Amino acid sequence: MKLDETIPPTAFILDLKANAAIIISLQLTKVDTARGATKIFSGIVLKNYKGDLQRGSAIAYAGMSEKKYAQNSLDTLVVFLKKHKKPLLYVRHKNIFYSTVEENAMIQPYSNLDSLLLFGKDN
């Protein structure tokens, strides 16, 4: 574990996991402000923990985060998402169908997160 690594409580992660239809590890490539505090995050799927998104596919989703991201960020995040039947937003000629489960449902990967997300994957 790195000294600057912030580890969220396990109960928080398990709650996000239970409420998310999709959980992915993502290479963040772009962050745009949509409306107010809502941002549009774009990136490439690195790993799929839950859901049907494939590794290497591009995704854009709406979310709110207290963290300040550079517009052209290259952070790696684990993201807990839900998919909507109708688009939430229309940004840059794209319909946005995905959003985070709740505010701050994007976290930096940490040492034990992989095993926590993979445990009970088939449930």
Answer positive or negative: Cα dihedral of 42, 57, 22, 112.
negative
Instruction: With respect to residue 58, please indicate whether it lies within any of the assigned structural domains.
Output: yes
Instruction: With respect to residue 123, please indicate whether it lies within any of the assigned structural domains.
Output: no
CATH number at residue 87: 2.40.50.120
Single pTM value for the model? 0.85
> pLDDT tens for residues 52-111?
999 999 999 999 877 777 666 778 899 999 999 999 888 778 899 999 998 878 888 888
Q: How many domains does the chain have?
A: 1
Instruction: With respect to residue 47, please indicate whether it lies within any of the assigned structural domains.
Output: yes
SS3 state at 119:
coil
Instruction: With respect to residue 24, please indicate whether it lies within any of the assigned structural domains.
Output: yes
Instruction: With respect to residue 3, please indicate whether it lies within any of the assigned structural domains.
Output: no
> pLDDT tens for residues 34-48?
777 788 999 999 999
> pLDDT tens for residues 17-28?
999 999 999 999
